[in-house]
Amino acid sequence: MKKMAIFLYCILLALAFSTNAMAAEVCTTIQDGTLLTSAGEVIVPGFDKWGYNYQAHIFSGGYCDSYRNAEWCQPWKDVELVMKWNDAWLSNKDCTSDSLLDRHYGFGTYIGSGAWETNHMKGSYELNGKTCKWVDFVKIIAVPLDAHYIDLNNNGKPDDYVEYWYTSDAKEIGASIWGAFAIIEEVYNDPCAGFHGKLYGSPDHSGFGGW
Rounded to whole angstroms, the Cα distance separating 59 from 52 reads 4
CA angle 115, 120, 126 (to 5 degrees): 150
Q: What is the pLDDT of residue 2?
A: 46
Residue 171 lies in a domain: yes
Residue 112 lies in a domain: yes
Taking the model in full, what pTM does it have? Answer: 0.86
Q: What is the pLDDT of residue 25?
A: 74
Q: What is the pLDDT along the chain (211 residues), one digit of tens a residue?
A: 444 444 434 444 444 444 444 445 799 999 999 999 999 999 999 999 999 999 999 999 999 999 999 999 999 999 999 999 999 999 999 999 999 999 999 999 999 999 999 999 999 999 999 999 999 999 999 999 999 999 998 889 899 999 999 999 999 999 999 999 999 999 999 999 999 999 999 999 999 999 9
Q: What is the pLDDT of residue 5?
A: 45
**Structural domain of 32:** 2-201
* 166-199 confidence digits (pLDDT tens): 999 999 999 999 999 999 999 999 999 999 999 9
CA angle 55, 96, 105 (to 5 degrees): 65
Q: What is the pLDDT of residue 24?
A: 54
Residue 175 lies in a domain: yes
Residue 97 lies in a domain: yes
- The number of distinct structural domains making up the chain is 1
Residue 207 lies in a domain: no
Residue 210 lies in a domain: no
Residue 208 lies in a domain: no
Q: What is the pLDDT of residue 6?
A: 40
Residue 206 lies in a domain: no
